[in-house]
Structure 1
Amino acid sequence: MHRKHFAVAFAAALTTLTMLACGAGAGDTSSAVSGSEGTNVEAAPEPTTAIGKVGQTITLTSELLGDKTVVEVAVTGPKQHTKEPGSFGSKPEKGIFLALDVTVVCKQGTYHANPFNFKFVAVDGTVFEQAFTIGFKPELHAVDLATGQKTAGKIVFDVPKAAISGGRVQIDGIGLDSNKPAAYWAL
């Protein structure tokens, strides 16, 4: 009987030690905001969700098992459209196409830039995914970036006009945090 309890206690202790040892670099994404006003908001050591204004650059940082990723992302130039550009442009189903310019710069490590990393979140918490459009050029395409590389393009959301006031653009985290919000840009 004592062997069984000892084995269970030993397994629990070993699991705890392994978790503590692997805890350095848990892969959490942190974020910081900088802007044209020269203000920087430093990220806390634990995971944070930065909130900046459209036009500001947000820095995402993640470290996992000694591999560090640092990415600067800027969301700028919000424009509302009642029709997609071009002679065959479609109309938005929900009210307005909100088009924004995005620039992603990989400062360290590697990063998979993807337009589907972005969502629009209305004040009431309603989340809107990317709209499928072809008229807004140049589009932000999914691409793998290495240190020193960058990409840019437009992202577009189909949202009710009333949702834009007070709404925010969300970017997902890096790596293990890819299913969590990492930062927001307020319109």
Structure 2
Amino acid sequence: MLVAGVDEAGRGPLAGPVFAAAVILDARRPIAGLDDSKKLTAGRREALALQIKAQAVAWRITWSAAAEIDRVNILQATLAAMREACRGLAVPPGLILVDGNRLPTGLPCEAHALIGGDAREPAISAASILAKTARDAWCLALHTRYPLYAFDRHKGYGTALHLDRLAEHGPCPEHRRSFAPVRRSLQDR
């Protein structure tokens, strides 16, 4: 049975989309070094992402934009991105394993939530890596559009640097207006 692993990246940041990935690994072509993306260096994640894309049976990366997050909330936007990633796989899985304790509705097959799955299940680790590298690349591109915010350094997370830039310049169009620090910044203007 083909098993798809699913994970997200970017639930906590103050700006940008939340990304989700679904990956079906090829059991005949194991990939060494898969782990929770947060435990890997950026260089290692990038190298593994290339290998995953080349060797997986199927993979798909999707996202929900900041406006969608503001409209439906971060949890629902995350679940929607996960559902779309699963539905968009070129090869249908027989089982879906999702990192965390919540499952999207409308999945194409049986599914289970697996707390800590990104460190325990290789397919979820692979999805974690693809979602994280895609989001990081998006943040680097965002930095070229809005260099005042230093998205290349904090990737949208609420670091001291990001909060300082938000206070100084106010939110850009990619900031999540439903998140408290951004909402406060808008009220202060």
TM-score w.r.t. the length of structure 1 is 0.26
* Structure of greater Rg: 1
TM-score w.r.t. the length of structure 2 is 0.26
More strand by share: 1
Q: Which has the higher contact order (CA 8 A, sep 6+)?
A: 2
